[in-house]
Structure 1
Amino acid sequence: MPFKPGEREYRVFSSVAAIPSSDENTPAYQVKGRAVVFDSPTCLAEFEGVKYFEIIDRNAFIGCDTSDVIMNYNHGGKVVARLRNHTLKLDFNSEGVDVTANLSGTDEGRKLWEEIRGGYIDKMSFAFTVADDGEEYDAETHTRRVTKIRKLYDVSAVDMPAYEQTSISARKSFEAERQKDFEKLEQERRRKLAIAMTYI
């Protein structure tokens, strides 16, 4: 696969929600969501009716560098939660990566919590790089399986799951796979034509 090793990639997967403060043990500006879903095919590109999928393997985060993951908005702007100061927690479970964040520490965080509570922002995304040997590609099903993630950079609350923007590297790579598929079909067509010509 022609994915560039070490190139940062972005994926939108699931939802985020503001958690109402029901008791003194629940922070006033807490949000929860799922940033990554395991073993679930996601269509990242489609060319002439052929869909190209990606799957994040449930073991992809084993050995991953998660030393300083942050949470922000749309993978940019100021940090609103962070692992290092314990305002961000990640739960790597059998289904995916769940996120719990306390957004009370900054003006931007509190504003983001209000927007999540109001339903204006309801998706989560994550930014990552794949290890050099961390992917497999099945040409029959047009599916890329990410088996090893080198580094997790951030989990973000996002307003639009814009694959056109967030999956540019993936789309370019799937375009290359599409070209390979076309060349194989063309070779097969020429082979059959050559066989047919021998009987004329």
Structure 2
Amino acid sequence: MPKLDIERRAFSEVRAAGRRLEGYAATFAAVANIGAYQERVAAGAFRKALAGDVLALLDHDPGKVLGRTASGTLKLYEDTRGLAFVLDVADTQAGRDAIELVKRGDVGGMSFGFTVPKGGETWQGSVRTLRKVDLREISIVSAWPAYPDTELALRARQHDADAERRRRALILAEVRTWA
């Protein structure tokens, strides 16, 4: 399977009730400043992705699975406000950590990881509108719901033409973080 350049976006609404977390992983019409451009998610952008298997993670870490749509522990739906979720959190260390951080108000917010299929975005000047996304995961973000500079700097309008350059830059940026 080819390596995908998964993008991430963050929002800040999540609530806890017992072992259940709920809130919004994304909101429509909100404009995010993504470095050199602005971005918004159009209503319906997640519609096709809702039929797939989507993970709920802690801090985008695939080693900290909190639930998933395939097992029924994560439910996702679009409403007029955005991409809403209901998550029955696993009784694991990561799950207990997530619930405690939400209850205390210490989480940075929610985020989602995605790729954009061909034709899934439109541009108007420096504003990117996501019209269709392949949703991979939603995450509870325990620190700041911000995107690493390396990912921000590597987004481009010409997805296919710049994919290899972004892949190489991501590898170099990852090596620098470990140096």
- Number of equivalences: 153
**Structure 1 residues 78 and 90 mapped into 2: Cα distance closer, same or farther (>3 Å)?**
same
**1:171 is aligned to 2:153:** yes
- Does the aligned pair in 2 maintain the 1:124–1:157 contact within 8 Å? yes
**1:118 is aligned to 2:108:** no
**1:32 is aligned to 2:17:** no
**1:135 is aligned to 2:133:** no
1:95 Cα offset (Å):
1.3
- Give the Cα separation in 2 of the matches to 1:172 and 1:60: 22
- Does the aligned pair in 1 maintain the 2:49–2:135 contact within 8 Å? yes
- Give the Cα separation in 2 of the matches to 1:174 and 1:132: 13
- Does the aligned pair in 2 maintain the 1:15–1:122 contact within 8 Å? no
- Does the aligned pair in 1 maintain the 2:108–2:145 contact within 8 Å? no
Aligned to 2:52: 67
1:171 Cα offset (Å):
3.3
- Does the aligned pair in 1 maintain the 2:44–2:78 contact within 8 Å? no
Aligned to 2:66: 80
The residue type equivalent to 1:54 in the other structure is E
Gaps of 5+ in 2: 159-179
- Who wins on radius of gyration, i.e. which is larger? 1
After superposition, the CA RMSD in angstroms is 2.2
- Give the Cα separation in 2 of the matches to 1:98 and 1:175: 28
State TM-score, norm by structure 1: 0.69
Identity of counterpart residues, as a percentage? 30
Aligned to 1:106: 92
- Give the Cα separation in 2 of the matches to 1:79 and 1:104: 8
- Does the aligned pair in 1 maintain the 2:46–2:83 contact within 8 Å? no
Aligned to 1:8: 6
Secondary structure of the residue that 2:70 maps to in structure 1?
coil
